[in-house]
DNA sequence: CATAAATACGACTGTATAAGTCCGATTTTT
DNA sequence: AAAAATCGGACTTATACAGTCGTATTTATG
């Protein structure tokens, strides 16, 4: 459907919450899920992924939560999608480079042209930073 | 998954087949589905949609088939997606303009920024013509 | 030191949408 | 009349996404 996944949207909402809040502020997954009406469990996993990837810092235990580690201008949309959905912002099915992922790999006439479009989209998403979404 | 649907890919392959073939040449759905190993029924529907939308001309009966009506430089990726998937190239879920399609419409902080990105993507896809995919 | 509040994470289920199939109707050439 | 093609609705199947659940771990604090 050529659309961001909900997880990515939830991640963006959360990241923006950190970015517009007081610098270094700590928020819990519960606070954010309450504030934006996002399913807690799902948001929790998204934040965990962002933490594992080094975008957020996680603080365990009572009075724990998350805080932003990277600067908003260092976090690109491409990175966020990559972290949360485990994939590059992918437009074309034949984004892969081998014959395994597409049965008509060698006879496909649109693979190369779409690859070019792919790269342009990638570059675009790399240049859209969290800073620009505030 | 932020990816073109197979139908759109099949449509692109078919359109390119027309575009690189002899000018005014007629091809049947079967010929194309055989040549590119695309499920016949599915491709047939895609071609029907493209014909209904005026991109192709359909010719009934024996020795019928399809031929290109519009020029490759007049057919944009945006148009093709719109015709085949019945939707605009949509990146953001909150692409709609009313409160019905998103439960957190009024509290969502990323709707506007993503809307801007949406419009940029749209413009990009409108500027990618079939001509450029040849 | 026990409890509560938080993250961590894998496994599972439900659901919506895409992908593909099937069937019958219609059109048109030969 | 028969064959070859488009037309289009209804149906089934497959898959990926969204969401849920259970349990373990960490840590501040009374």
State the CATH number of the domain containing residue A115: 1.10.10.10
Residue B46 lies in a domain: yes
Long-range contacts of B112-120 (CB under 8 A, 24+ apart): B113/A132, B113/A133, B113/A134, B114/A4, B114/A12, B114/A133, B117/A77, B117/A128, B117/B91, B117/B92, B118/B90, B118/B91, B118/B92, B120/A124
Contacts of B87 in chain A (CB under 8 A): 1
- Dump strand ranges (E) for chain B: 56-59, 65-68
Domain hosting residue B52, numbered range: 6-133
- At B9-29, the pLDDT tens digits run 999 999 999 999 999 999 999
Q: What is the tens place of the pLDDT at every residue in B45-91? A: 999 999 999 999 999 999 999 999 999 999 999 999 999 998 776 77
- Nucleotide C8's nearest residue (CA vs C1') is A48
Is residue A33 one of the residues assigned to a domain? Answer: yes
> Is the CB of A101 within 7 Å of strand D?
no
Q: What is the pLDDT of residue B105?
A: 72
Residue A3 has its nearest CB partner, among B16, B91, B132, at B91
Q: Which A-chain residues 23-42 have CB contacts (< 8 A) with chain B?
A: 35-38
Residue B1 within any structural domain of the chain: no
Could you report the predicted ipTM of this complex, rounded to two decimals? 0.91
Distance between CA atoms of residues B3 and A123, nearest Å: 16
Look at residue A120 and tell me if it is in a domain. yes
A1 inside domain: no
Q: B87-118: per-residue pLDDT in tens?
A: 776 777 665 555 556 777 778 899 889 989 98
Domain for residue A74, yes or no? yes
Specify if A34 maps to a domain: yes
Q: How many domains does chain A have?
A: 1
Taking the C1' atom of every nucleotide in all shown strands and the CA of A44, the nearest one is: C7
**A52: in domain:** yes
Taking the CA of residue A69 and the nearest CA in chain B, the distance in Å comes to: 20
Per-residue pLDDT of chain A (134 residues; tens, 9 = 90+): 688 999 999 999 999 999 999 999 999 999 999 999 999 999 999 999 999 999 999 999 999 999 999 999 999 999 999 999 987 767 776 655 555 567 777 788 998 899 899 899 999 999 999 999 99
């Amino acid at each position: 459907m050529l659309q961001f996944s909900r997880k990515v949207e939830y991640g963006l909402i959360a990241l923006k919450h950190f970015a517009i809040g007081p610098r270094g502020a700590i928020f819990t997954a519960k606070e954010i899920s309450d504030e934006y009406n996002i399913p807690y469990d799902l948001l929790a996993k998204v934040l965990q992924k962002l933490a594992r990837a080094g975008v957020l810092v996680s603080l365990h235990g009572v009075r724990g939560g998350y805080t932003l580690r990277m600067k908003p201008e260092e976090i690109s949309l491409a990175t966020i999608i990559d972290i949360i959905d485990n994939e590059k912002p992918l437009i074309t099915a034949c984004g892969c480079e081998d014959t395994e992922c597409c049965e008509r790999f060698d006879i496909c006439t649109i693979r190369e042209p779409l690859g070019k479009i792919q790269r342009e989209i990638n570059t675009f998403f790399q240049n859209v930073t969290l800073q620009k979404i505030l």
